[in-house]
Amino acid sequence: MVKMKVLKESDERLQVLLTGTDRSFASALRRSLISDTPKMAIDSVRFQLGTKEQDEEVWETTGPIPDEMVAQRLAMIPIPTRHEKFHFQDECPNCKDLVEADRGCLECQMIYTCVVFGSDEGKWVTAGDMKYLGEESLEIPEDYKSIPITKLLKGQMIEFYATAIMGRGRDHTKWSPVCGVSFSPRRVGVINNKSKSKVLWGMDLEITAKDFGKDNRLDDVDKVARLVRELNHVGEGTEASREFKDAISLEEVPGEYILDFETDGSMTPRVALEMACKELAERFGALEQDLGAAL
C-alpha cells in the first residue's frame, strides 16, 4: 500500500515522500496533478466598448494591446478554487441539462468585473483591480494582486466582465494548478572509503563525516540533496576525482520516491494533491470495473 509523508510544506510548495510504490505510480500522480486536478480559470471575457465622461473628460475604451492579449493574460491569473462550492458546468445540478451557451449560475461560474482609468504618467491595471461579484473570500489572493494586465494613459480606460469556470489542465494549461512538478527516486549517501572521502571533507563544504551515522550512511533527504550538489566538486572531470574515486556513492532506496511541486496560488498544494489522488482513484476504479465487465 502506498504511503505518503510530507517532508516540506508551504503556502505554495509541497514535497512528499512516497513509499511502497513504483515509478509508474509516481509518474501517474505527477500527470494527474498537471492534467486532472480541477481548477477555476477565466474562460471568457466581455469587454465594454465605447466612451465615458468623468470629471468633464471623455475616456475611451482603448489600450496599448489588443483585447485578445488582455484575455489571455486574464486566463493565467490564479482564481481561488473552492471545490466544495462550485461544479463543472456539465455536472452542475442547475445547468447540466441546458445547452452549453445557456449554462452558468452561482454554483458553476465566477464573475469578476474591472473598471480602470488611465493617467498622465501611466496607470497599471493589475489583478487587484478585478472585483468578484460575490463573497470577499473569493477575491484574487493578496500575493497575486500585483500581476500586471495592461497599462493605460490619459484618456484610455478598460472595462470588462470576466467569467471563470471549472476545468482541467488536459483541456488547457490555464486550468493546470501546478508547476515544476517532478519526482525522483529517494537516495542515500554511502561512504565506501573513509580515507579517500577526506578529499571532500577537506573542501570545507556543508556536509561532513559527522552527518553520516555509524553505519556510514546518510539518510536525511535535505542533506542528501546537498551532498548530491557537493559531489560535483569531486565528480568526473575534476582534478580531485582522481584521488576521490567514488569514495562516497549514492544508492536508490527501492520503492521510495520524492514528489515535489508548486501551485499557482489558486489552491494550496495539499488540496491539489488530495484532488489529484481522488481523480486518480476514480480513474483506476472505473478501469477496474471495465476490466471486470470485459473479463
User: What is the reported pTM?
Assistant: 0.86
User: Does position 287 have pLDDT exceeding 70, yes or no?
Assistant: no
Average pLDDT estimate for 10-20: 94
Domain locations in the chain? 3-36+179-262, 39-175
**Residues 6 or more apart in contact with residue 224 via CB below 8 angstroms:** 187, 188, 189, 218, 250
- 158 or 289: which carries more pLDDT confidence? 158
pLDDT tens-digit series, residues 134-156: 888 899 999 999 999 999 999 99
User: Does position 170 have pLDDT exceeding 60, yes or no?
Assistant: yes
pLDDT tens-digit series, residues 186-203: 999 999 999 999 999 999
User: Does position 290 have pLDDT exceeding 70, yes or no?
Assistant: no
Average pLDDT estimate for 89-95: 94
pLDDT tens-digit series, residues 36-50: 999 999 999 999 988
Candidates 1.20.1250.20, 3.40.50.300, 2.170.120.12, 3.40.190.10; correct CATH number of 39-175? 2.170.120.12
What pLDDT was estimated at residue 9? 95
What pLDDT was estimated at residue 288? 54
What pLDDT was estimated at residue 282? 85
What fold, for 3-36+179-262?
Gyrase A; domain 2 (3.30.1360)
Same CATH fold assignment for domains 3-36+179-262 and 39-175: no
